Amino acid sequence: MATLKVPHPVPSAVEDAETLRKAFQGWGTDEKTVIGVLAHRDAAQRLQIRLAYEELYEENLIKRLESEIHGDFERAVYRWIFDPVERQAILANIAARDGDYRVVIEFSCVNSASELLAVKQAYHARYKHSLEEDIASQTTGDFCKLLVALVGTYRYDGVEINLRLAESEAKILHEAITEKAYNHEEIIRILSTRSKAQLNATFNRYKDDFGISITKDLTSESSDDFVAALRVVIRCIRSPQKYFEKLLRGAIDNHGNKDVITRVLVTRAEKDLAEIKDIYEKRTNASLDEAIRKKTSGDYEKFLLALLGN
Amino acid sequence: MATLKVPHPVPSAVEDAETLRKAFQGWGTDEKTVIGVLAHRDAAQRLQIRLAYEELYEENLIKRLESEIHGDFERAVYRWIFDPVERQAILANIAARDGDYRVVIEFSCVNSASELLAVKQAYHARYKHSLEEDIASQTTGDFCKLLVALVGTYRYDGVEINLRLAESEAKILHEAITEKAYNHEEIIRILSTRSKAQLNATFNRYKDDFGISITKDLTSESSDDFVAALRVVIRCIRSPQKYFEKLLRGAIDNHGNKDVITRVLVTRAEKDLAEIKDIYEKRTNASLDEAIRKKTSGDYEKFLLALLGN
């Protein structure tokens, strides 16, 4: 469930564009109003506001925001204002450039096949080349093989599972992990091509047959970046909510890593941030809102809390 | 340009279904009528006929055809009757099962990104799993790497090219080929991820800089299957028409390999068989119709000639 709260009735896109324009005028920017509008509109409404603003004032709303607001607040609004597909194309481009394997794995494994495809189409339109070629030319070795395979696949989205295959592929995975052959082609093949339903059956079978979960079995080598990447793949496929909760918790504990906090809140607020919040609060016996409040400040803090439904 | 000829005005789908039903009744099948209808209707019309036939007679037209006609003629009609996307999904499934690398390369390199995607979607719907997993689990080694990469990619379809990149990647390809490192990751990366416009710029640059075309440079090792596969990739990207002409010519010369003759005529009749025929006739100074006539016979021959526009 989303945490995003949209008022009812919601103002028209033209009214919102006019409200934002007023917030930009005069001495300084009225950030409270900017948050009041943008953090309480869904993706379709934000797009309409951008179009209405451009139509009314012959000015790009995103460019105007860049000159009006600053720092962490600006970065968070800049991520948020796009619709999920366009936002992911932008995040993918930055991640490919920086070799940020975690983000590449997230969007390739959390999205459905058709959502991932939409991101790749948006990538073509925006950057005039493909995501695959950027990742392939900007990463090397085992990471390149894994990431290109994950981004390139068009997984079957159905629920049918083949139990015999789950058994045989759990065995293949276990043998490779036991031999510490983490970069084994079979590991990459299985994780990158099988449907999510099939993979979950394989992971369950792994635990049943070998008495340990596959992620725990991989943890013994936690200093290896590639092994860490495999764990991210498995966790994103098994439960995106648990994955994002753990990521967020780590970011909050780790001096409040703002890039990660922003990414999780902005990308999940319209999807499943309520579940993520719930898991966090059960696990830590603390309020997520309170934790965010402690680690952030100013308009950035207010904006994140608004996304959290405050 | 297509060679398919559709009469004007064309009978309605119901009329065609009735005509086919009559052709099936009584002593034997009236194959001439079957050819007269099916070989002169486009993909959309064939689909409407299938639907009308099912509606009228509560019988699947394809199943009925299987019991009415036989041999090469049946196989050709069975390929032809589907629309191009469904047909390619079926061909892909057979090719994945048989490890027929040539067919896999054809549909992954000749189709545009969106056409390839449509084939993968039809594959999901028909087989309840993905094409990638079938190819990945049914091929091994270098072939697996190459084919999975080609099938998995979602190439950029735009015309923009980067000349500096064409130069540097022509050099990378030339070095790998000179060192006979045909399975080099860089070869697979470049061929499977770059846009077709970019690859054609790279192939042109290859010829300019090294005085030999990349396919000729690869021919010196013609006994190697993997090198042959790389040549198919390059030729399908450079000119599908020239590729199919050469394939067809080889099949005609090679005792009339019927699987290949059928595949080329059936898959290209609605697309570019006129160009392929033209290239064939310029190159051999002989009529393609005549060549097909010599190598085939009976209803199979009549059906193929009808697809060729006779």
Q: Which domain holds residue A301?
A: 240-307
CA distance B173 to chain A (A): 14
For B132, the closest of A154, A160, A185 (CB atoms) is A154
Question: Do A190 and A248 have their domain in common?
Answer: no
Q: How many domains does chain A have?
A: 4
pLDDT at residue number A99: 86
Interface test with B, best of A133, A147, A192 (most B CBs within 10 A): A133
Q: Do B193 and A148 touch (CB under 8 A)?
A: yes
Q: For the segment B27-40, what is each residue's pLDDT rounded down to a tens digit?
A: 888 999 999 999 99
This complex has an ipTM of: 0.75
* Two structure tokens written together for A257: 């890593």
Residues 131-160 of A with CB under 8 A from B: 131-133, 136-137, 144-145, 148-149, 152-158, 160
Within 8 A of B148 by CB-CB distance, chain A residues are 149, 152, 189, 193
Interface test with B, best of A132, A150, A151 (most B CBs within 10 A): A132
Q: Do B124 and A158 touch (CB under 8 A)?
A: yes
* CATH label of the domain that carries residue B200: 1.10.220.10
CA distance A199 to chain B (A): 12
Is pLDDT above 70 for A284? Answer: yes
Q: For the segment A130-171, what is each residue's pLDDT rounded down to a tens digit?
A: 999 999 999 888 999 999 999 999 999 999 999 999 999 999
Question: Do B182 and B208 have their domain in common?
Answer: yes
Question: Do B141 and B180 have their domain in common?
Answer: no
For A193, the closest of B124, B136, B195 (CB atoms) is B136
What span, in angstroms and rounded, lies between the C-alpha atoms of A169 and A190? Answer: 7
Residue B157 covered by a domain: no
Q: Is B192 on the interface with A (CB under 8 A)?
A: yes
Within 8 A of A166 by CB-CB distance, chain B residues are none
Q: Do B152 and A157 touch (CB under 8 A)?
A: no
The domain boundary, picked from A238, A254, A272, lies at A238
Q: Is A124 on the interface with B (CB under 8 A)?
A: yes
Q: For the segment A1-18, what is each residue's pLDDT rounded down to a tens digit?
A: 999 999 999 999 999 999
Question: Do B52 and B108 have their domain in common?
Answer: no
Q: Is B195 on the interface with A (CB under 8 A)?
A: yes
- Residue A21 one-letter amino acid: R
Q: Do A137 and B193 touch (CB under 8 A)?
A: yes
User: Whole-model pTM?
Assistant: 0.85
Q: Which residues contact B138 (CB under 8 A, 6 or more apart)?
A: B96, B97, B99
pLDDT at residue number A222: 59
pLDDT at residue number A254: 82
For B193, the closest of A132, A156, A185 (CB atoms) is A132
pLDDT at residue number A221: 61
Q: For the segment B100-140, what is each residue's pLDDT rounded down to a tens digit?
A: 999 999 999 999 999 999 999 999 999 999 999 999 999 88
pLDDT at residue number B310: 87
The mean pLDDT value of chain A amounts to 94
Question: Do B90 and B143 have their domain in common?
Answer: yes
Question: Do B142 and B179 have their domain in common?
Answer: no
* Greatest alpha-carbon span in chain B: 69
Question: Do A127 and A194 have their domain in common?
Answer: no
Residue B251 covered by a domain: yes
Find out whether the peptide bond into B9 is cis, omega within 30 degrees of 0.
Answer: yes
pLDDT at residue number A86: 94
Question: Do A230 and A279 have their domain in common?
Answer: no
Residue B40 covered by a domain: yes
Is B309 a known ligand-binding residue? no
The domain boundary, picked from A238, A256, A284, lies at A238
CA distance B157 to chain A (A): 8
Q: How many CB pairs under 8 A join A and B?
A: 95
Within 8 A of B153 by CB-CB distance, chain A residues are 130, 132, 152
Full 3-state SS string of chain B: CCCCCCCCCCCCHHHHHHHHHHHHCCCCCCHHHHHHHHCCCCHHHHHHHHHHHHHHHCCCHHHHHHHHCCHHHHHHHHHHCCCHHHHHHHHHHHHHHHCCHHHHHHHHHHCCHHHHHHHHHHHHHHHCCCHHHHHHHHCCHHHHHHHHHHHHCCCCCCCCCCHHHHHHHHHHHHHHHHCCCCCCHHHHHHHHHCCHHHHHHHHHHHHHHHCCCHHHHHHCCCCCHHHHHHHHHHHHHHCHHHHHHHHHHHHHHCCCCHHHHHHHHHHHCCCCHHHHHHHHHHHHCCCHHHHHHHHCCHHHHHHHHHHCCC
CA distance B183 to chain A (A): 14
Residue A210 covered by a domain: yes
CA distance B289 to chain A (A): 40
Residue in the block written with tokens 């499977």: B192
Residue A5 covered by a domain: no
A216, A245, A253 from A249: Cα distances, Å: 19, 6, 6
For B158, the closest of A128, A153, A157 (CB atoms) is A128
Q: What integer is the mean pLDDT of A67-85?
A: 94
Q: Do B130 and A195 touch (CB under 8 A)?
A: yes
Within 8 A of A136 by CB-CB distance, chain B residues are 189, 192-193
Q: For the segment A172-181, what is each residue's pLDDT rounded down to a tens digit?
A: 999 999 998 8
Closest CA to A292 of A305, A278, A279: A305
pLDDT at residue number A246: 96
What span, in angstroms and rounded, lies between the C-alpha atoms of B98 and B149? Answer: 18
Q: Do A133 and B117 touch (CB under 8 A)?
A: no
Q: What integer is the mean pLDDT of B203-229?
A: 90
Within 8 A of A157 by CB-CB distance, chain B residues are 124
For A136, the closest of B124, B128, B193 (CB atoms) is B193
Q: Is A120 on the interface with B (CB under 8 A)?
A: yes
The mean pLDDT value of chain B amounts to 94
pLDDT over 90 percentage in chain B: 89
Is pLDDT above 70 for B280? Answer: yes
Interface test with A, best of B129, B131, B135, B184 (most A CBs within 10 A): B129
The domain boundary, picked from B152, B177, B202, lies at B152
Is pLDDT above 80 for B274? Answer: yes
Q: Is B194 on the interface with A (CB under 8 A)?
A: yes
Is pLDDT above 90 for B45? Answer: yes
pLDDT at residue number B305: 97
Question: Do B175 and B143 have their domain in common?
Answer: no
Q: Do A129 and B195 touch (CB under 8 A)?
A: yes
Is B132 a known ligand-binding residue? no
Q: What integer is the mean pLDDT of B252-275?
A: 93
pLDDT at residue number B28: 83
- Between A216-220, B187-191, B242-246, the lowest mean confidence (pLDDT) is in A216-220
Strongest mean pLDDT among B178-182, B248-252, B256-260: B248-252
* Two structure tokens written together for A106: 């997230």
Contact A50, A86 (CB under 8 A): no
Residue B250 covered by a domain: yes
Residue A8 covered by a domain: no
Question: Do B61 and B92 have their domain in common?
Answer: no
pLDDT over 70 percentage in chain A: 99
Q: Do B193 and A124 touch (CB under 8 A)?
A: no
Contact A108, A150 (CB under 8 A): yes
pLDDT at residue number A39: 96
pLDDT over 90 percentage in chain A: 90
Q: For the segment A164-223, what is each residue's pLDDT rounded down to a tens digit?
A: 999 999 999 999 999 988 888 899 999 999 999 999 999 999 999 999 999 999 986 657
pLDDT at residue number A182: 87
Q: Do B152 and A152 touch (CB under 8 A)?
A: yes
Residue A193 covered by a domain: yes
Within 8 A of A194 by CB-CB distance, chain B residues are 133
For A149, the closest of B124, B152, B158 (CB atoms) is B152
